[in-house]
Chain A
Amino acid sequence: MMVQSRNPAADQGMTELSEQSLAEIDRWIAKYPVDQRQSAVMAALRIAQEQNGGWLNRALIEAVADYLGMSPIEVEEVATFYSMYELKPVGRHKICVCTNISCLLRGSDEVVAHLEQRLGIRMGETTADGRFTLKEVECLGACVNAPMFQIGRDYHENLTPERIDAILDRLD
Chain B
Amino acid sequence: MATIEINGKVVEARDGAMLIEAAAEAGFAIPHFCYHRKLTIAASCRMCLVEVEKAPKPLPACATPVSDGMKVQTRSPKALAAQKAVMEFLLINHPLDCPICDQGGECDLQELAVGYGGDVTRFAEGKRVVGDPDLGPLIATEMTRCIHCTRCVRFIAEIAGTRELGAPGRGEHMHITSWLGGQVGSELSGNVIDLCPVGALTSKPFRFRARAWELNARPAVAMHDGLGANLWFDTLRGQVLRARPRDNEAVNECWLSDRDRFACAGLHSDDRLRQPLLRDRNGWREAGWDEALPRAAQLLRNIVDNRGGEQLAALAAPSQSAEEYYLLQKLLRALGSPHIEHRLRQGCFTAQEAMPLMPGLGMAPEALQAGDAFLMVGCHLRKEQPLLNHRVRQAVLNGAAAMAINPVVWPSNYPLAAEQTVAPSRLAGALAEVAQALAGGEAGGEAAAMAERLRDAEQPLILVGAVAQMGEYLGAILAQAMQVAEACGGRVAFLPEGGNSAAAWLAGAVPHRGVAGSHAPTVGKHLRQLYAEPVAGLLLLGIEPERDSLDPAAMARLLEAAEGVVALAAYDSPLLREHADVILPLATWAESAGTQINHAGLWQSYRGAVAAPGEARPGWKVLRVLGNLLDLDGFDFNAADEVLAELRAAVDRQGAFAPTPWPAVALPDAPASVEAVAALSPYSVDAMVRRSPPLQAASDAPQPCCRVHPALAERLGRPQRVRVGDGAASAVLALEIDERVADGCIVVPTAIAETALLGALTGAISVEQAA
Q: Which residue of A lies closest to B180 (CB)?
A: A7
Contact B177 A5 (CB under 8 A): yes
Q: How far is the CA of A74 from the CA of B169 in the complex (A)?
A: 11
Task: State the Cβ distance, A100 to closest chain B Cβ, in Å.
Answer: 15
The CA-CA distance from A92 to B126 in the complex, in Å, is: 36
Q: In chain A between 34 and 76, which residues have their CB closer than 8 angstroms to a CB of chain B?
A: 58, 70-74, 76
Most buried by B among A7, A72, A73, A80: A73
Interface flags, B117-143, vs A, CB<8A=1, else 0: 000000000111111010000000000
Contact of A5 with B163 at beta-carbon distance under 8 Å, contacts A80-B169, A80-B173 already known: no
- Cα(A135)–Cα(B589), bound, Å: 63
Query: Within the assembled complex, what's the spacing in Å between the Cα atoms of A7 and B126?
Result: 24
Q: At the interface, yes or no: B250 with Cβ under 8 Å from chain A?
A: no
- Beyond the given pairs A7-B181, A71-B163, A71-B179, 15 more chain A to chain B contacts, judged by CB atoms under 8 angstroms and listed by A's residue number, are A1-B126, A1-B127, A3-B128, A3-B130, A3-B172, A5-B180, A6-B168, A71-B162, A71-B166, A72-B179, A73-B165, A73-B168, A74-B166, A76-B179, A77-B166
Q: Which residues of B contact A20 (CB under 8 A)?
A: none
A60 and B19 alpha carbons, distance in the complex (Å): 44
The 7 tightest CB contacts between A and B, nearest first, are A73-B166, A80-B168, A71-B163, A4-B131, A73-B179, A72-B179, A3-B130
The answer to whether A76 and B168 touch (CB under 8 A), given A3-B173, A7-B180, A58-B180, is yes
B126: chain A residues at CB < 8 Å are 1
Q: Which residues of B contact A4 (CB under 8 A)?
A: 130-131
Distance of A58 Cα from B173 Cα, bound (Å): 19
| Chain B interface mostly | loop
Residue numbers in A under 8 Å from B281 (CB-CB): none
Query: Chain A's nearest CB lies how many Å from the CB of B398?
Result: 15
- Asked if A1 and B129 sit within 8 Å, CB to CB, the answer is yes
Q: Give CA–CA (A81, B128) in the complex, Å.
A: 18
Query: What is the chain B residue whose CB lies nearest that of A65?
Result: B179
- In the assembled complex, which residues on chain A have CB atoms less than 8 Å from the CB atom of B163? 70-71, 73-74
Q: Residues of B contacting A70 with CB < 8 Å?
A: 163
Using CB atoms, name the residue of chain B closest to A87: B168
B170 adjacent to chain A (CB < 8 Å): yes
Q: Mark A1-13, 1 if CB is under 8 A from B, else 0.
A: 1111111000000
Task: Given A71-B163, A80-B168, verify A2-B131 contact (CB < 8 Å).
Answer: yes
Check A5–B168 contact: CB distance below 8 A: yes
Out of A1, A58, A73, A79, name the residue touching B177 (CB < 8 Å): A73
**Quick one: given A58-B180, A80-B173, are A2 and B129 in contact (CB under 8 Å)?**
yes
User: In the complex, what distance in Å separates the CA atom of A159 from the CA atom of B169?
Assistant: 31
Q: Which chain B residues numbered 173 to 209 have a C-beta less than 8 Å away from chain A?
A: 173-175, 177-181
Tell whether B167 is near chain A: CB-to-CB under 8 Å.
Answer: yes
Question: Taking beta carbons and an 8 Å cutoff, which residues of A are in contact with B?
Answer: 1-7, 58, 70-74, 76-77, 79-81
A3 touches B131 (CB 8 A): yes
Inter-chain contacts of B167 with A (CB < 8 A): 77
| CB-nearest residue of chain B to A69 | B415
Contacts of A72 in B (CB 8 A): 179-180
Closest CB-CB distance, A83 to chain B, in whole Å? 8
Note all chain B residues with C-beta closer than 8 A to A58. Answer: 180
A2 and B172 alpha carbons, distance in the complex (Å) = 10
Q: Are B172 and A1 in contact (CB under 8 A)?
A: yes
Between A and B, 12 residue pairs with Cβ closer than 8 Å are A1-B128, A3-B129, A3-B130, A4-B130, A4-B131, A5-B177, A5-B180, A71-B162, A71-B179, A77-B168, A80-B170, A81-B168
Q: Is residue B164 contacting chain A, with contact meaning CB distance below 8 A?
A: yes
A2 to B164, CA, bound (A): 23
Chain A hits for B162, CB < 8 A: 71
Cβ–Cβ < 8 Å partners of B179 in chain A: 71-73, 76
A2 to B175, CA, bound (A): 11
A138 to nearest B CB, angstroms? 12
With a CB–CB cut-off of 8 A, which chain A residues contact B170? 80-81
Q: Which residues in B have their C-beta under 8 angstroms from that of A76?
A: 166, 168, 179
Q: How far is the CA of A1 from the CA of B127 in the complex (A)?
A: 6
Nearest A residue to B181 by beta-carbon distance?
A5
In the bound assembly, the distance between CA atoms of A81 and B181 in angstroms comes to 18
Q: In the complex, what distance in Å separates the CA atom of A7 from the CA atom of B182?
A: 11
Q: How far is the CB of B291 from chain A (nearest CB, A)?
A: 61
A73 to B180: give the CA distance in the assembly, Å: 8
Interface size of B by Cβ–Cβ distance < 8 Å? 25
Instruction: State the CA gap A7–B179 with chains docked (Å).
Output: 8
Assembled-state Cα–Cα distance A97/B128 (Å): 26
Q: Which residues of B contact A2 (CB under 8 A)?
A: 128-131
Structural contact, B164 and A73, CB atoms closer than 8 A: yes
Given the complex, which residues of B lie within 8 Å of A77, measured CB to CB? 166-168
Q: Nearest residue in A to B165 (C-beta to C-beta)?
A: A73
| Complex contacts, A79 vs chain B, CB 8 Å | 168
A73 to B181 CA separation, bound complex (whole angstroms): 10
Nearest chain A CB to B531's CB is how many angstroms away? 46
Determine the chain A residues whose CB is within 8 A of the CB of B174 once the complex forms.
Answer: 3
Could you tell me if B164 and A3 are in contact, using CB atoms closer than 8 angstroms? no
Min CB distance B126 to A, Å, is: 6
- Please, how many angstroms separate the alpha-carbon atoms of A85 and B608 in the complex? 57
- Minimum distance in angstroms from A66 CB to a CB of chain B: 12
State in angstroms the CA–CA spacing of A80 and B127 once bound together.
21
In the complex, the chain B residue whose C-beta lies closest to that of A71 is B163
A73 to B168, CA, bound (A): 8
Interface centre among B126, B164, B173, by most chain A C-beta atoms within 10 angstroms, is B173
Bound Cα distance from A2 to B132, whole angstroms = 11
Q: How far is the CA of A4 from the CA of B128 in the complex (A)?
A: 11
Q: Pick the most buried of A5, A70, A76, A79: most chain B CB atoms within 10 A of its CB.
A: A5
| Chain B residue, CB-CB nearest to A81 | B170
Residues of B150-168 whose CB lies within 8 A of A: 162-168
Q: Which residues of B contact A73 (CB under 8 A)?
A: 163-166, 168, 177-179
Task: Among B131, B163, B168, find the residue whose CB has the most chain A CB atoms closer than 10 A.
Answer: B168
Instruction: Give complex CA distance A138, B130 in Å.
Output: 24
Complex Cα distance A80/B168, Å? Answer: 6
Chain A residues whose C-beta falls within 8 Å of the C-beta of B130 in the assembled complex: 2-4
Closest to A83 in B: B170
Minimum CB distance partner of B177 in chain A? A5
Q: Do the beta carbons of A3 and B165 come within 8 Å of each other?
A: no
B176 to chain A, nearest CB (A): 10
Measured CA separation A80–B179 after assembly (Å) = 12
Shortest Cβ distance from A9 into chain B, in angstroms? 12
Query: Bound state CA distance, A115 and B484, in angstroms?
Result: 75
| Contacting residues, chain B, for A71 (C-beta < 8 A) | 162-164, 166, 179
Q: Which residues of B contact A5 (CB under 8 A)?
A: 131, 133, 168, 175, 177, 180-181
Q: Which residues of B contact A3 (CB under 8 A)?
A: 128-131, 169, 172-175
Question: CA A37 – CA B587 in complex, angstroms?
Answer: 54
Q: How far is the CB of B572 from chain A (nearest CB, A)?
A: 43
Q: Mark B202-236, 1 if CB is under 8 A from A, else 0.
A: 00000000000000000000000000000000000
Residue of B whose beta carbon sits closest to that of A62: B179
- How far does the Cβ of A152 sit from chain B's closest Cβ, in whole Å? 24
> How far, in angstroms, from A74 to B154 measured CA to CA in the complex?
12
Among B173, B174, B175, B179, the one with the most A-chain Cβ atoms within 10 Å of its Cβ is: B179
In the bound complex, CA of A160 to CA of B157 (Å): 51
Q: Which residues of B sit under 8 angstroms from A1, Cβ to Cβ?
A: 126-129, 172
Nearest-Cβ distance from residue A64 to partner chain B, whole angstroms:
13
A71 to B153, CA, bound (A): 12
The interface residues of chain A lying within 8 Å CB-to-CB of B165 are: 73
User: How many Å lie between the Cα of A63 and that of B632 in the bound state?
Assistant: 70
Residues of A near B128 (CB, < 8 A) are 1-3
Nearest-neighbour CB distance to chain B for A124, whole angstroms, equals: 14
Interface centre among A3, A7, A71, A77 (most CB of B within 10 A): A3
- Bound together, the chains give a CA A139 to CA B131 distance in angstroms of 30
B134 CB → nearest A CB, Å: 11
Question: Could you tell me the distance in whole angstroms from the C-beta of B656 to the nearest C-beta in chain A?
Answer: 47
Cβ of B172 to closest chain A Cβ, rounded Å: 7
B129: nearest chain-A partner, CB-CB:
A2
